[in-house]
Amino acid sequence: MPRSRRLCVLTNAPQSAFVINLGVLYPGRVTALDIANQPHGLEALSEYGSVVTMVTHRGALDKLDYGAVRAFAARGGTVVSCLAEYARSLGLGVTKSLVLDGSQMPAIRVRELSEVTKGFAVGDEVLWFGKVSGATYNDCNPNQYYQRQVLGLEGRPGVKVLGVSTLNGGAVLVEERVGRGRIVAMDLLSLKEPFYDSWGSTNKYLFLGNAIGRSVRYGKHYPRKLPYDALLDHMRQLAARLPALTFTEEGPASDGRPLGSLTVGNPDAPAFLFTNGIHGWEWEAGYGLLHLAELLASDPPPEGLSRDMFHVKVIPQLNPYGYDHDVRHNANGVDLNRNFDCGWADYVGGDDVYQPWDFDYKGPYPASEPETQIAMRVVREMRPVCLLDFHTAHYIFCKPHRGDRRLMNSIHAEVKRRLKDRYLLQRPYSTEYCQANMDREVDWLQPTPHFIHWAAEAGVSAAVLIEMSGNRNLTQALVMNTDTTVEICLAAMKQCLKRARR
């Protein structure tokens, strides 16, 4: 059977948000067939490379020709199914478990590794549930969570239970080899669409994406947000385990604790500085930088890189106080990304009163803060060709008033190419769904006291502020964030090294 990139959704709800959003994730590739009114036998399915089944009501299960779906898989196709129709094809039923008092948020516990669970380790838990109320935000009446499972799958030939429920151990994520293809079954129906800052449905399209589009390439799940002191210990442990990696205490921050960095590569090669968390509550991408350092220090480094080609320093969290206290500012109430000696005097922030802890308080004088001073010293010492400073808003590529525009544009183009058709999310404070694709850009024309503006004036050719997606209370989206962070850094390295070889 020819391998097609086209995807068919077999459903009783062809106009549903799920079908629409799947089309956002895979634009131009998705066709929905109404199982009650449109033929969907093997002949109809043979023109597709993947099939997704989504039957939203028990009354429509008889309309689905699951025999044709199994025959499609046997001939080499990939199928992703909701649990009800999959269980029915095996003569089993589905259990729907509810937590009525909100005391436990149901999750999938990863039990076996496969391409579908890439990014996770055995034992990792991923929040996975719906809400009876259908409320948009989880802090509104946080009760009556529910999740579907299939019981009785153990020991079936060719069936591998990849993930089980933390409520009852039932199967929530299943992979079955069928002939030359496979069926991946999962509880998609319990989960609402992954609205911004959702808890139970943030990763709704991740396992599906792994099965159909190989979404995760470098992502790594971190089970929890570590306290800053534990984060430093983790960095030390990484450096002890990987001889190519060096841990450095760069100096004391405003709360007295050291800013930690990890360095890898050849000090005489083109230098790269990757930073995160200058705004303390924007913390997630720092874990991507940790994983990037781990990948670059491992043998072999990714994508044909060798450590004599580059010199990379990552500072995962530039603001220990803000990171631990989940605030924007450092211990002195200063917005560190308004504290750099570049357009500082002309920057006017605040409102009728301007004082420490205001949203963009720039400090009493330029570079008044120890974190700012450390960042400036590192740039002067390293003389990086590229600085990526990671933030959190929503996937925006921000260029300063100076620098090599051609190089920055080539990095941006490479980032967009890498992230295309990988992840789906909702734009913060909006009803719009989109890919995590970095299509948006900002081109600042005037200097401001941001880190990247100062770095551009200090001679960094490509100083870019990267807005990611995050600011979540829990770590349910970290695989997407770590994956996209690593990809963005690799894109910058590849483009800068390509330029250096000319």
Q: How far apart are the first and last CA of the chain?
A: 44
For residue 168, the model assigns a pLDDT of 96
Lowest average pLDDT, out of 76-85, 386-395, 423-432, goes to 423-432
Closest CA to 218 of 479, 496, 16: 479
Q: What share of the chain is helix, strand, coil (3-state, %, to 5)?
A: 30, 25, 50
Longest dimension (CA), the chain: 72
- What does the radius of gyration of the chain's CA atoms come to, in whole angstroms? 24
- Reported as a single tens digit per residue, the pLDDT across 314-361 is 999 999 999 999 999 999 999 999 999 999 999 999 999 999 999 999
Which range of residues forms the domain containing residue 429?
A: 228-501
Same domain assignment for residues 327 and 236: yes
Cβ within 8 Å of residue 39, ≥6 positions away: 33
Of 190, 213, 236, the residue at which a domain comes to its end is 213
CA 52 to each of CA 65, 75, 302: distance values in angstroms, whole numbers, following the listed order? 13, 16, 32
CA 204 to each of CA 47, 193, 435, 471: distance values in angstroms, whole numbers, following the listed order? 26, 7, 14, 18
Q: In 100-158, which ranges are E strands?
A: 107-110, 125-127, 130-131, 145-150
Reply yes or no on whether the pLDDT at 449 is more than 80: yes
For residue 477, the model assigns a pLDDT of 84
Residues 177/76, Cβ–Cβ less than 8 Å: no
Total domains in the chain come to 2
Look at residue 431 and tell me if it is in a domain. yes
Reply yes or no on whether the pLDDT at 372 is more than 80: yes
Residue bearing tokens 């605040």: 350
Same domain assignment for residues 48 and 165: yes
Cβ within 8 Å of residue 402, ≥6 positions away: 447, 453, 456, 457
For residue 140, the model assigns a pLDDT of 62
State what percent of residues in the chain have pLDDT above 70: 98
Reply yes or no on whether the pLDDT at 263 is more than 70: yes
Same domain assignment for residues 463 and 358: yes
For residue 136, the model assigns a pLDDT of 62
Q: What is the CATH number of the domain that holds 199?
A: 3.40.50.880
- Reported as a single tens digit per residue, the pLDDT across 287-314 is 999 999 999 999 999 999 999 999 999 9
Q: In 253-354, which ranges are E strands?
A: 258-265, 271-276, 311-315
Same domain assignment for residues 402 and 488: yes
Look at residue 343 and tell me if it is in a domain. yes
215 CB-contact burial (10 Å; exposed 0-12 / middle 13-18 / buried 19+): buried
351 CB-contact burial (10 Å; exposed 0-12 / middle 13-18 / buried 19+): exposed
Same domain assignment for residues 134 and 249: no
Look at residue 1 and tell me if it is in a domain. no
DSSP 455-469: HHHTT-SEEEEEEES
* Cα–Cα distance measured from residue 163 to residue 170, given in angstroms and rounded to the nearest whole number: 9
The residue ranking higher by pLDDT, 426 or 363, is 363
Give me the numbers of helices (H) and strands (E) for the chain, helices first please. 12, 22
For residue 33, the model assigns a pLDDT of 98
Of 168, 184, 213, the residue at which a domain comes to its end is 213
Residues 106/167, Cβ–Cβ less than 8 Å: yes
Of 184, 213, 242, the residue at which a domain comes to its end is 213
30 CB-contact burial (10 Å; exposed 0-12 / middle 13-18 / buried 19+): buried
Look at residue 163 and tell me if it is in a domain. yes
Same domain assignment for residues 403 and 308: yes
- Reported as a single tens digit per residue, the pLDDT across 410-448 is 999 999 999 999 999 988 878 889 999 999 999 999 999
Residues in the chain: 502
Q: Region 179-194: what's the mean pLDDT?
A: 96
Q: Rounded to 10 degrees, what is the CA torsion of 310, 316, 318, 321? A: -160
Cβ contacts of 158-164, under 8 Å, gap ≥ 24: 160/112, 160/114, 161/111, 161/112, 162/110, 162/111, 162/112, 162/113, 162/114, 162/116, 162/117, 163/108, 163/109, 163/110, 163/111, 163/117, 163/126, 164/108, 164/109, 164/111
* Cα–Cα distance measured from residue 205 to residue 221, given in angstroms and rounded to the nearest whole number: 16
The residue type found at 309 is M
pLDDT band at residue 138 under the 50/70/90 scheme? low
Reply yes or no on whether the pLDDT at 2 is more than 70: no
DSSP 54-87: E--SGGGGGG--HHHHHHHHHTT-EEEEEHHHHH
Look at residue 219 and tell me if it is in a domain. no
Look at residue 2 and tell me if it is in a domain. no
